[in-house]
């Protein structure tokens, strides 16, 4: 089968298509023919080996996992001997965190992992773009325990995590303010944001408004900058920055405003099923910026590396000559 592999850390050019052995499912696994996947910011960071400290986990001298990609949508090709939940031919979607490997024609995944039947009528390319951003957004906003009428500000509302967080916070009944650049304002409004702030025109930390929760879905805000925009008892939700781990512990004991940075994030079947139900109820859609065929992985990755994508970048896998 074909897979996108990399043997060194570096720029997108280190990625190349290679013919590799098709994996064989263990007793509790399913073999999935991948029809679509995504290139995420996690894929970019792993490929680049950045931040450097992450190499203590991903491989100090060279990457331990040669094949990246965690989002997936496809068809069950074979099942292990103890699998009862899926059968050959089922359309499935989900995410294979930590093990990766979806940038390939086939992938083996535990049937009990973050995998579920595809939402009714949803094409593979749309289903593939659902899980990474949405489950990271769920991890980030859950500690805020949002209730009807509470106010959340989402900074970076047009990215993969941001577009998901806007819709999820709305579905929890919160009043949502999105912050993004001019070109994404209409999109963020269309996702259900009650208010959208143009970050090129207005600094939300200086407009006097306060929120129950502030989500940094870009990774370049700080708690100290946002503290004045939080209501008493408010919570700052981080997606990046090791200093936020220290601040999580510090603010749990001192002061009336907290920092929460759920790391490592959890990816569960329960969350995939929750998203499927939300989609089927018409309350969630994955935002897709661009689609590339697998063969154009380097171009797709270069675009993700710009940090300017809107929502998600999908890879479609249709040519199976080498399957
Ligand atoms: N905790 C985790 O496990 C985990 C996993 C993956 C990613 N992350 C982190 O989560 C963050 C977002 O990830 P993502 O996948 O949603 O990213 P993304 O899809 O690349 O979105 C980034 C968005 O941020 C905005 N942006 C880019 N540069 C900006 C800047 N200098 N100032 C303000 N806004 C800027 C852009 O929107 P506009 O152009 O409209 O402003 C863009 O749409 C990243 O920091 C990433 O490191 C965390």
Q: Quote the pTM value.
A: 0.96
| Closest listed residue to residue 236, CA positions, set 169, 197, 199, 225 | 225
User: Among the atoms of ligand 1, which is closest to the Cα of residue 179?
Assistant: 41
Does domain 133-260 bear CATH number 3.30.360.10? Answer: no
Among protein residues, the one with the nearest Cα to ligand 1's atom 36 is: 308
CATH number of 2-130+286-316: 3.90.180.10
**CA of 228 relative to ligand 1 center, distance in Å:** 23
pLDDT in tens, 56-87: 999 999 999 999 999 999 999 999 999 999 99
Q: Where are the domains of the chain?
A: 2-130+286-316, 133-260
Over the stretch 238-274, which tens digit does the pLDDT of each residue have? 999 999 999 999 999 999 999 999 999 999 999 999 9
> Looking at ligand 1, which residue's alpha carbon is closest to its atom 3?
265
pLDDT tens-digit map of 169-194: 999 999 999 999 999 999 999 999 99
Same fold, 2-130+286-316 and 133-260: no
Residue 182, ligand 1, Cβ within 6 A: no
Q: Looking at residue 20, what is its pLDDT?
A: 97
Distance 25 CA to ligand 1 centre (A): 35
Instruction: Please give the share of the chain, as a percent, with pLDDT higher than 90.
Output: 98
């Amino acid at each position: 089968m074909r897979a996108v592999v990399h043997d060194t850390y570096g720029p997108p050019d280190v990625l190349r298509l290679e013919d590799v052995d098709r994996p064989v499912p263990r007793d509790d696994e399913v073999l999935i023919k991948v029809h679509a996947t995504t290139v995420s910011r996690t894929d970019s960071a792993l490929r680049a080996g950045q931040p450097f400290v992450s190499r203590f986990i991903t491989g100090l001298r060279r990457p331990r996992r040669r094949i990246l990609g965690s989002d997936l949508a496809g068809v069950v090709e074979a099942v292990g001997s103890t699998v009862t939940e899926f059968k050959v031919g089922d359309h499935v979607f989900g995410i294979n965190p930590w093990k990766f490997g979806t940038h390939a024609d086939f992938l083996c995944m535990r049937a009990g992992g973050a995998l579920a039947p595809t939402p009714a009528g949803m094409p593979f390319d749309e289903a593939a773009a659902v899980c990474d951003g949405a489950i990271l957004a769920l991890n980030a906003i859950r500690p805020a325990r949002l209730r009807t009428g509470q106010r959340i500000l989402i900074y970076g509302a047009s990215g993969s995590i941001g577009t998901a967080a806007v819709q999820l916070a709305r579905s929890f009944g919160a009043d949502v303010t999105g912050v993004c650049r001019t070109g994404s304002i209409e999109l963020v409004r269309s996702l259900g944001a009650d208010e959208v702030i143009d970050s090129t025109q207005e600094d939300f930390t200086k407009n006097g408004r306060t929120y129950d929760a502030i989500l940094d879905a870009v990774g370049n805000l700080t708690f100290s900058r946002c503290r004045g925009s939080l209501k008493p008892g408010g919570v700052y939700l981080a997606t990046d920055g090791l200093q936020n781990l220290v601040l999580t512990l510090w603010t749990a004991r001192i002061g009336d405003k907290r920092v929460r940075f759920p790391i490592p994030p959890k990816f569960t079947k329960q969350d995939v099923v929750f998203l499927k139900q939300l989609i089927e109820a018409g309350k969630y859609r994955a935002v897709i910026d661009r689609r590339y065929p697998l063969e154009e992985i380097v171009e797709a990755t270069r675009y993700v590396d710009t940090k300017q994508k809107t929502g998600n970048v999908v890879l479609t896998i249709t040519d199976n000559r080498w399957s």
